[in-house]
Amino acid sequence: MPHLRALVERMQDRPFTLLGLNAYDSEEDYREGAEKHGINWPVIFQGNTPPVAALYRVKGYPTIYVLDENGKIIAKGLRGEDLTKRVEELVTALEAKQ
């Protein structure tokens, strides 16, 4: 979580969104966890019926997908500096197009 929090802060005011998905927790557990971990990005709470998780075939948590500006999955399972590097490349390329 600290790395994701730092990534969100680093990408502030740039064309980037981190979107979380929470499924199978109770709403109370989800809210407590979000506060405990200082989550600073939007999270979809889905309870026990996770249609977004089904759509993207999420089989376990955490699952990380990097999507391009068209919503196409272009990377899976990146963590830490590998994730930051890939996001930085994509955001920089998108900014150059604008």
Instruction: Give yes or no for a contact between 34 and 5, defined as CB atoms under 8 angstroms apart.
Output: no
Whether the per-residue pLDDT at 2 is higher than 80: the answer is yes
Region 28-48: mean pLDDT is 89
The residue range of the domain holding 65 is: 2-91
- On whether residue 31 sits in a domain, the answer given is yes
Number of domains forming the structure of the chain: 1
> What are the tens digits of pLDDT across the range 44-56?
888 787 788 888 8
> What are the tens digits of pLDDT across the range 13-22?
999 999 998 8
The bridge status of strand 43-45 relative to strand 65-67 is: unpaired
Whole-angstrom distance, CA of residue 33 vs CA of residue 91: 29
Burial bucket for residue 16 (CB in 10 Å: 0-12, 13-18, 19+) = middle
Whole-angstrom distance, CA of residue 31 vs CA of residue 59: 22
- On whether residue 96 sits in a domain, the answer given is no
Least confident residue range of 20-24, 35-39, 75-79, 83-87: 20-24
What pTM was computed for the model? 0.83
CATH code, domain with 68: 3.40.30.10
- On whether residue 98 sits in a domain, the answer given is no
